[in-house]
Structure formats: C-alpha cells, structure tokens
A and B are shown apart, each in its own frame.
Chain A
Amino acid sequence: MYLRSDDRGPAMNNRLALRLALFGGIALALFGVLFFRLWFLQVLKGDEYLAQARNNRTREFRVTAPRGEILDRNGEVLVDNRTSLALQLNAEKLPEGPRERRAELARLGGLTHSSLHRVRKLIHEELKASPGAPVTLRRDVGHYIVYYLEENQERFPGVEVQRVFVRNYPGGMMAAHMLGNVGEVNEEQLKEPQYKKLQPGDEIGQDGVEYTYDRFLRGHPGLTKIQVDAFGQPTKNGQLLSQPPVPGNDLKLSIDANVQAAGEAAMASLGLRGGFVTMDVHTGEILALGSYPTFDPSVFTRPLTQAQVNQLYRDPVQAPLTDRAIAGLYPTGSTFKPITAIAALESGNLTPTEVINDPGQLVIGGQVFTNAGEAANGSVSLVSALEVSSDVFFYTLGFRMWDTGDLQHWAHALGIGRPTGIDLPGAAEGLLPSRHWRNKLYAEGETERPWSAGDNVQFATGQGDLQANPLQMAVAYAAIANGGTVVTPHVGMQIDDARGRVVREFEPAPRRHVRIDSQYRETILEGLHDAAQNGGGTSFEVFGSFPIPVAGKTGTAERPPYEDQSWYGVLAPYPDPRIVTFVTMEEGGFGAEAAAPAARTILEAYFADRLSRGAGPEEGEG
C-alpha cells in the first residue's frame, strides 16, 4: 500500500497516478458513450422518433355522416335514416389475460343473447374483414343495455355504445330491388379508386341506386383530432382539428311512389314471379319498376339469420333478390310483333296495307307453324294482324326476312340483346338470336343444327331463342312510339343537397336514334290500339272499358318446362303516348289473363287524377 496514514505532503505517487489515469479514461469513455448515444437518438434518428412522438399523442375520431335520403319524384321519402344504438367492441382494449378475456366475452354473449362461441366467431370474422375497426356486436340495442354498461363499465373494457345511422324504409318493401342496400365496404372494394378515401367499417351502397349514386348519397365523415396524454385522456384545449361530418346529398328518383305501389300490389295480388316497368317514352325516366317476389330491404340493416340467408340467396326458383324487370331473360311472345312489323316495313318486306291470308297455319320446309289456339283469321293486314295477334302473318314476315338479317338489324337497333344503359346494377343483356349466333354455336358443336328459316319464324313472334326483359321491351316500344329515339332508361333524376338546393340533374342523352317512318309508326300504333280497345282485340276484355285510349299488345311466351309466360306491353295515351308499361309474369298463361290486368292497374294509378275527374278520351290532350 502506498498510503501513509499521517500523510500531509503531496499525496500523489506513480501507482496512484496510474489508477487515476485509468479512472479518467473510464470517465472519458462513459461520457463518450453517452454523447454518441445522444447524437444517435437526436440527430441520426430524430425524425423517426419525432414521428413516433406525434403519432403517440393524437387520436382521430371519425364521426359518421348520415347518408342522403332517397325520394320519389314528388318528394315522398323512400329511404331515410334512423339512429340506432350499436354495441361495439374495440378488440385492442380487451384484457390481456386469456381468462379475463374469455370471461368478458362470455358476459358480452349474455348481454347480446348469443353464445361465447358466436361472439368469438363474429369478432374473428369482422377483424378479418376490417382489421383494427371496432367490431359491431349488436345493433339496435335497447336503452337498458346502455344503462347496464354504464354502471358496469369496468367489467367491460373496450365495449362502447355508439350511435350509428341505419337505413330506414318508410315504404316497407316498396322498390326494394331498385333502392338496393348499404353495407360495410369490403377489402376488395377498398382497393377501387372510388372508395379510396374510405376506411374499413365505412358503409357504402352495395346494390341498386344506393350503389350507383353512392358518391352523392355518401357524405363525408367528420374528423376530430385530439391530443391525448399517455392514458388516452384528452388534454385541455387539446382539440387539434374538428371537421363536422357533411351529410350526403339527397337523391330524387323519377319513380312515382303511387304508380310503383300499384304495380307491386298488382304483382303481389297474383303471386306470380315477374317484373314490371313504366317509363316515360320521351325521356326514359322510369316511373315504376319492380319485381316479384320481393323482399324487405331493412333485413340488410342487421346481420342476416340463417333462415333469411336461405330465403334470399338459396332459392333459385323464387330468387327474391333478382330484379326480373331488368335481369329477367325471357322469350317475349307476341309483344315482339311490333318490332317484327317495323323491321318488315322499313326493309320493304311489307307495306302497311298488304293483306296476307291466315289459314291458321303455315308450313315452312315441312315444319308446321300454327296460330295460338289454331284460329284461322283469314285475310289480315298489319293493323288487323296486330289486333287479333295473327301468328301466321308474322310467321310469314319472319320467313320473308329469314336470311336478310333485317329483323335482327332492327331488333338490335331498338335495343334487344344489348344493354339499355339503365343506372341500376345487375341488368341483363339478353339474347338476340341471329344467323351468325346460331351458326357459330353449330360450328362449335353446341347445337344440332345451323340457322334455319324456322328459327327466324319463331323469333318473329317472340318465341324460340329470344331472351329479353320488360325494360328492353319498354325501350323498344318507346322508340316506336316516339318516332325512333332509343332513350336511356334511368331512375335517378336529381341530386339535392341537405338544404334542398338542386346540385345536379340527370338527363342522360338517348342511346341512339333510328329513323322510323311516321306512317309505319301510326299503322303499328293503330294495330296496337285496336288490339287493346277494339272489340276483337286480344286484350279488349281488359282495356275495352278503360276510359283513356291506349295501345297494348299481349304476349304468351312458350317457355318449357314452365307454363306459358304472360306478357303485356302498353303505350298510353293513344295516339301520342307519354308512357309505356311492360309487365311479365312467369307461368301467367295468356297475356290478357295475368299481365294485362296488372298493366291496367298501373295505368289507373298513373292516370288517377284524370280518371277521378271522369276524364273523357281526349280531355286535356293535344
């Protein structure tokens, strides 16, 4: 030891100096470590930590914006919102321990009247669909649950009661197909550009006009950014940003709720599957459009039960979600004859006054084509052929045009076998049978014979391979009635903002124009008028007594293995039609039996004012 206890002189010696030098070296090294670490954290990685710090202290709360309302053309509310209390679970705030977690989920199961297993499954599925978003355990919870939760908050960490907007349908099932429904945006949709700004859990229109006009109906969610402390509590004056939610705009449809209700009631009264449409022949505005069987759109505002899933999705015959007015694929029967007539007249295969003998049947290439009911109509011109619905007359026209393609050209021009451009999802194109189509199938070995005259003869009367829906037929009839304008059918009419100002009006341009000779048009309309309201007409029994002159055509489509399908197309008022109504009912039999009465019910609703004034045939009309 180098120390002396009584040392009073300089205390330093070499060994001590060495130890002190080492001490100093250690001190230097330790400070070096601290300085370097400080430099590393603050200068080299400072940006990273600054970002983390910012992220730490802000919380964003989104406030859902109510969707716009959907109204009919007269302002009657078809869809609005109601607020509902929803039980939501923030899975991140569940207790850590598996046992506590299980206990809480079991308690939640008890509250929501479901089992632990189902609660877990629900959470699992919802988190898979939208990770991080709160899981909605149950909508429309009663106030007693809210009070219970408030009193027992500590037993339910992570559980919140949220006010959410839920679609409300004052009209019940009215226009269910057309309105569509809303639902949470799914993962694939989030990748689409129009849903770019959305977050998991946001709701978008999934079908019907809710889908088509989603960008107008959907509002902008409000955003509140607040500064929170380490415990997630908002700090004083900590509101960094507050954007109130902007409600969605209202959508006004061209639908007339009265006409719509009448159509649906008429369909429901017979209980036959089918569809109907009523459209303005000049603008393409749809006044009514529906399908039977229908469904209650409000079922989509809460999770579906298994029974509902089975009923809605797993019944291929009833298929209640299918909108038969726009997605049906049917032969149209004799309602197709006016199209055949236009094609024959315009292509020079027929003159308006030409008389053809109808002995009740026509033999072409050894194949016998008979009239419905095997009636013999004798000598018929176009007008009387339409009136009595002479098949032989139109078989003859079909035979005359079997290899010219004129019928296909005109049917195509009028919109058969192609999209109508309607603003609803799920519309079908249908099928226009043609030589090209069948020969191609034949070449591919998918049919046993090439195109023949018989095919065109069938097609001329709306039988055989033709597949069309009421909307396409309505557009074709409208084009004949308005002199050749193929309108774009649409249900969306105008967008109003929350204060009722018109933001936008929809007047889609016609798809195209076809030149229709006015003489031909008048001849065909005359034939249709006679069919509806002349003594020998096919639907005289239904429309003979109708006070307003109309022009209507029955159709009875053969659709094996089903019973015949009933069709009716009517233009009113005659001779200058404003609207066209088309009705079809699967297995409804003869057109005048099922579809025509339904069409009459719709027209009665449309002309309700005039009818209640006891209107004569020409009153108020130009």
Chain B
Amino acid sequence: MYATRTRRARPEPFALRPGIAERLGLPYMDAQLGFAALGLAAFGVFTLGQATQHDVPGNPGYYVDRQAIYALLGLFGMYLLARVDYSRFRELRVGIYTFLCVSVSLVFVFGFAARGSRRSFDLPFFSFQPSELGKLLLVLALAGFVIDGARRGSPWQRTVRYLCLGFAPAALVFLQPDLGTSLVYGAITLAVMYVGGVRWTHFTVIGAGLVAIVALVLVVAPAVGTPILKGYQEERLTSFLNPSADPSDAGYQQNQAKIAIGSGEKTGRGDRATQTRLDFVPERHTDFIFAVIGERYGFTGAALVLSLYALLIWRALRIVTLSKNSYGTLVAGGIAAMLLFQVFVNVGMNLGIMPITGIPLPLLSYGGSSVLATFLAVGVLQSIHMQARLSQKGRFAW
C-alpha cells in the first residue's frame, strides 16, 4: 500500500510559478537584519515573561502578552513598510513633518499624564506615544528636507534650517517633558546632517554651541535662579557621577542596576535573581530591562543581546551604503544613528556609565509605541534594501 503511494508521480507546483518567498519579496530583504530585530524582540518577550510574572497580581501574563502583541503588530508593520518604496516618503516630507509636530503637540491637549509628564494618548487597549513614532517620522522628513534643500541657500543657511527643523519637534517633546526622547531627536538631526554632508566646520560650531548650552542648563541657569531642567532631570543627568544609598535617589537606582548586572556574573542567576525580582531596580520592565537580562542570564545573555544590536546596527550601516539613492542613504543613516544612540545611552545607563535619561532599549523595553516604531524603522531599512536589490536586478516593485 505504501509502496504504490510513493511511486505515484507528484506534481511540482512551484516549479513554473514564482515561489511564495519570491512573491512575498523575501529574497530581496535583509535576512540578517530581520533576524536581529526578531531575535531581540523575542528575547525581550521571553525576558519580560520571566521577570514580570508576579508584577500584576493574578495576571502573570500582563506585560508579556501585550508586548508579544505589539511585537507581532510591529512585525506586520515592518513587512508592509518593506514592501513600500520608501522614496515616496520624500515627497510626503512636509505632510510627515506636519503630522509629527501636530501629533507631538496634541499630547499637551489630549495627553494622558503618567508620572508628571504627558507623553501619550490613551487609546482603547493601548496608550500611544506619538514621540516614539516621531523618531522615524523625523528621520523620513528631515532626510527629505536635506535632499530637497541641497541646492537652496548658502551652506550656513542650510545648516541652520536643518537645525531648526530638528529643533522644533525636539523642543516640543522636551516640554512634555521627555528629555530622553528629545535627545534622540537631536541625535537623529545631527546624524542626518552628518550623512547629508554638512561641513565639518559647521559641526565644530554646533559642538561648541552644545557645550555652551549644557553649561548654561546645568550650571549657569540654576545659578541665576531660572532652572531649565526639572530637578529630577538634572539629578538623573548628573547622579551617575556620584551614586548614593538613598532609594528615592537617582544615583541609588543606577547603583542597584549595576549591582544587578554585576551579580549575574558569567551565567546569570536565573530565578534566583533578587535585585531585579525584588524591586531593588526600578523600571525593570522598561528602562532597566537590560539589568534584568544581565542579572538573569549573566554575561552570556547580556553579550548575546549586545551582539544582536551590533548586528542590527551593522546591517543598518551596510544598507546606508547599498541604497539606490541619496534619500535612502540619509534615511538609513538616520535610523542607524537613532538605534545606536538609544542602545548606547540605555545600556550605558544600565551599566552606570551614562546618565539616566529615560530612553527605552529598542525592541526590548516594554512599551507598544517604542516596539512598533522600531519595527517600522527596521521596515524602512528593509524597504531601502529591497529597492536597492530590485534596482540591481533592473526591476522595480510597485
């Protein structure tokens, strides 16, 4: 009986038609980039599942379920964006920029206040934080403006224009107040300008200006009695220089995060982890998720996560060089800088070498807006990759 079945000739359904993978566009995507993003998101969901099962009484899956849904949505969004030619966004730059500024401003009106700051809209099942998506929107819009403005005005005028374009949304976000995200906006602006070819002399002047602003904000303004930063912001920014033992103190949190990571040693403490399980480390599911990984999975786990980020950023930088047009180069450069800045500042904060700024760790920190925005950014990278590959084959998609 068996024998007769195996001898029967089987049709080859895929032989003459384009394969499913081909039709989905998968061969034109960057598999390693996708692997890194997916791996990080999966690791994040896994970690959250272990670390937060006792956080919400009676609902062990509160965080992990939501994060998994956000990740799946993000994955879907990434795929959709990958199939879209990113070059369209260049034409839509004014609309995108307007949407960015309006959505970030609307928070002041309809926003939902959490811990003294209005950052997000309270939608059903989901509180949406426009400033997260705004990072990607800023990259897309600013890159467009840079390409568009390449022939208008003197170099100085252009530089000032880009700075102003970046500064406006950054200032709005700063006023929410959300210092960390506004810093990311600043990093994106500088990175796009950098890849866009703004002169070194201009960067030197900008650098000097930044130093002056930092001095003004941290030293001069408090001294003359008009502080610009809120007290907790300033404390967070400077406390990594002098840790303290007071649990209500920013330096304490950072010290606890350091103890958590250090105590993980080479292979981690697993469920015997105490620092991140017993609330010694605050915000362990968001800003300090890296400390959870460090304590639970040790150097092995933390180094794996860092390696995945390195892979992610390397692939992003590689896409910068592959792009078929300058817009793609600028967008990919902006996204790469955005990811690099967030990873370095967040992980550095966990390791006690950077100040506490409230920047989430892309794809790992709990939070729908951040996960979604990051996946969409990766989707844009995939789109650039795909368009480059398709153009090499002499084919254009859609």
* A interface residue numbers (CB < 8 A to B): 1-5, 7-12, 15-17, 19-20, 23-24, 26-27, 30-31, 33-35, 37-39, 41-43, 45-50, 52-54, 56-57, 227-231, 235
Contact flags (1/0) for B293-311 with A, using CB distance below 8 Å?
0110011001100100110
CB distance from A293 to the nearest CB of B (A): 54
Task: Say whether B329 faces chain A, with CB atoms less than 8 Å apart.
Answer: yes
Closest 10 CB pairs of A and B: A49-B262, A46-B265, A53-B263, A229-B278, A50-B263, A42-B299, A230-B279, A57-B274, A41-B262, A230-B280
Which of B194, B256, B352 contacts A230, CB < 8 Å? B256
Query: Known contacts A46-B263, A49-B261, A56-B280; is A38 also within 8 Å of B351 by CB?
Result: yes
Q: Find chain B residues with CB under 8 A from A17 CB.
A: 321
A11 touches B258 (CB 8 A): no
A23 touches B333 (CB 8 A): yes
Q: Find chain A residues with CB under 8 A from B337 CB.
A: 23
Which of A33, A37, A50 contacts B265, CB < 8 Å? A50
A3 touches B247 (CB 8 A): no
B317 touches A42 (CB 8 A): no
A56 touches B353 (CB 8 A): no
Nearest residue (CB) in A for B330 is A3
A27 touches B340 (CB 8 A): yes
Contact flags (1/0) for B308-331 with A, using CB distance below 8 Å?
011001100100110111111100
Nearest residue (CB) in A for B87 is A8
Q: Find chain B residues with CB under 8 A from A46 CB.
A: 262-266
Q: Give bound CA distance, A227 to B278, whole Å.
A: 9
Which of A1, A23, A227, A231 contacts B336, CB < 8 Å? A23
Query: Known contacts A56-B280, A230-B280; is A23 also within 8 Å of B262 by CB?
Result: no
Which of A10, A16, A27, A228 contacts B313, CB < 8 Å? A27
Q: Give bound CA distance, A57 to B329, whole Å.
A: 50
B197 touches A1 (CB 8 A): yes
Q: Give bound CA distance, A48 to B321, whole Å.
A: 45
B353 touches A33 (CB 8 A): yes
Q: Find chain A residues with CB under 8 A from B336 CB.
A: 23, 27
Q: Give bound CA distance, A230 to B320, whole Å.
A: 45
Query: Known contacts A4-B326, A23-B336, A229-B280; is A56 also within 8 Å of B195 by CB?
Result: no
* B interface residue numbers (CB < 8 A to A): 146-148, 150-151, 155, 191, 194-197, 247, 256, 258-266, 269, 274-275, 278-280, 282, 294-295, 298-299, 302-303, 306, 309-310, 313-314, 317, 320-321, 323-329, 333, 336-337, 340, 344, 347-348, 351-353
B317 touches A11 (CB 8 A): no
CB distance from B203 to the nearest CB of A (A): 11
A42 touches B302 (CB 8 A): yes
B321 touches A20 (CB 8 A): yes
**Seed contacts A1-B197, A41-B261; 10 additional CB < 8 Å A-B pairs:** A3-B326, A15-B197, A20-B333, A34-B348, A37-B351, A42-B264, A42-B266, A43-B299, A50-B265, A53-B262
Which of A10, A39, A57, A227 contacts B299, CB < 8 Å? A39
CB distance from A51 to the nearest CB of B (A): 8
B306 touches A38 (CB 8 A): yes
Which of B151, B256, B306, B353 contacts A31, CB < 8 Å? B306
Q: Give bound CA distance, A1 to B309, whole Å.
A: 32
28 A-B contacts, Cβ less than 8 Å apart? A1-B155, A1-B197, A4-B326, A8-B324, A9-B324, A9-B325, A23-B320, A24-B314, A24-B317, A33-B348, A33-B353, A38-B299, A41-B258, A41-B294, A42-B262, A42-B266, A43-B265, A43-B299, A48-B262, A49-B260, A50-B262, A53-B259, A53-B260, A53-B262, A56-B274, A56-B280, A57-B280, A227-B278
CB distance from A371 to the nearest CB of B (A): 83
B294 touches A38 (CB 8 A): yes
Query: Known contacts A230-B247, A230-B280; is A56 also within 8 Å of B275 by CB?
Result: yes
Which of B263, B302, B320, B325 contacts A38, CB < 8 Å? B302
Q: Give bound CA distance, A53 to B276, whole Å.
A: 10
B259 touches A19 (CB 8 A): no
B261 touches A42 (CB 8 A): yes
CB distance from A73 to the nearest CB of B (A): 55
B263 touches A49 (CB 8 A): yes
A4 touches B150 (CB 8 A): yes
Which of B195, B247, B313, B347 contacts A20, CB < 8 Å? B195
Q: Give bound CA distance, A112 to B314, whole Å.
A: 70
Nearest residue (CB) in A for B262 is A49
CB distance from B130 to the nearest CB of A (A): 28
Which of B262, B269, B302, B306 contacts A45, CB < 8 Å? B262
CB distance from B356 to the nearest CB of A (A): 16
A3 touches B351 (CB 8 A): no
Q: Find chain B residues with CB under 8 A from A56 CB.
A: 256, 259, 274-275, 280
Q: Give bound CA distance, A49 to B260, whole Å.
A: 7
Q: Find chain A residues with CB under 8 A from B327 CB.
A: 7
Q: Find chain A residues with CB under 8 A from B309 CB.
A: 31
A231 touches B328 (CB 8 A): no
Which of A9, A38, A52 contacts B259, CB < 8 Å? A52
Q: Find chain A residues with CB under 8 A from B310 CB.
A: 27, 31
A47 touches B256 (CB 8 A): no
Q: Find chain A residues with CB under 8 A from B275 CB.
A: 53, 56-57
Q: Find chain A residues with CB under 8 A from B195 CB.
A: 16, 19-20, 23
A37 touches B197 (CB 8 A): no
Q: Give bound CA distance, A2 to B340, whole Å.
A: 25
CB distance from B45 to the nearest CB of A (A): 22
Q: Find chain A residues with CB under 8 A from B325 CB.
A: 7-9, 11
Q: Give bound CA distance, A35 to B336, whole Å.
A: 19
Q: Which residue, of A19, A35, A41, has the highest number of chain B Cβ atoms within 10 A?
A: A41
CB distance from A364 to the nearest CB of B (A): 83
Which of B147, B150, B155, B258 contacts A49, CB < 8 Å? B258
B259 touches A42 (CB 8 A): no
A11 touches B299 (CB 8 A): no
B294 touches A20 (CB 8 A): no
Which of A2, A26, A229 contacts B197, CB < 8 Å? A2
Q: Find chain B residues with CB under 8 A from A42 CB.
A: 261-262, 264-266, 294, 298-299, 302
Q: Give bound CA distance, A48 to B261, whole Å.
A: 11
Nearest residue (CB) in B for A10 is B324
Q: Give bound CA distance, A594 to B390, whole Å.
A: 126
A52 touches B263 (CB 8 A): yes
Q: Find chain A residues with CB under 8 A from B247 CB.
A: 230-231
Q: Which residue, of A12, A26, A228, A230, has the highest number of chain B Cβ atoms within 10 A?
A: A230
Which of A2, A15, A57 contacts B278, CB < 8 Å? A57
Q: Give bound CA distance, A34 to B261, whole Å.
A: 13
Q: Find chain A residues with CB under 8 A from B353 CB.
A: 33, 37
Q: Give bound CA distance, A10 to B323, whole Å.
A: 7
CB distance from A12 to the nearest CB of B (A): 6
Nearest residue (CB) in A for B317 is A24
CB distance from B280 to the nearest CB of A (A): 4
Nearest residue (CB) in B for A30 is B344
CB distance from B157 to the nearest CB of A (A): 12
B317 touches A20 (CB 8 A): yes
Nearest residue (CB) in A for B316 is A27
Q: Find chain A residues with CB under 8 A from B313 CB.
A: 27, 31
Query: Known contacts A35-B306, A43-B299, A54-B274; is A3 also within 8 Å of B261 by CB?
Result: no
A34 touches B347 (CB 8 A): yes
CB distance from A6 to the nearest CB of B (A): 9
Nearest residue (CB) in B for A12 is B321
CB distance from B105 to the nearest CB of A (A): 30
Q: Find chain A residues with CB under 8 A from B352 CB.
A: 37, 41
A231 touches B279 (CB 8 A): yes
Q: Which residue, of A4, A7, A26, has the highest number of chain B Cβ atoms within 10 A?
A: A7
B294 touches A3 (CB 8 A): no
Q: Find chain A residues with CB under 8 A from B314 CB.
A: 24, 27
Q: Which residue, of B324, B326, B347, B352, has the highest number of chain A Cβ atoms within 10 A?
A: B326
Nearest residue (CB) in B for A37 is B351
Query: Known contacts A11-B324, A57-B280; is A38 also within 8 Å of B303 by CB?
Result: yes
Q: Find chain A residues with CB under 8 A from B306 CB.
A: 31, 34-35, 38
Q: Give bound CA distance, A445 to B356, whole Å.
A: 82
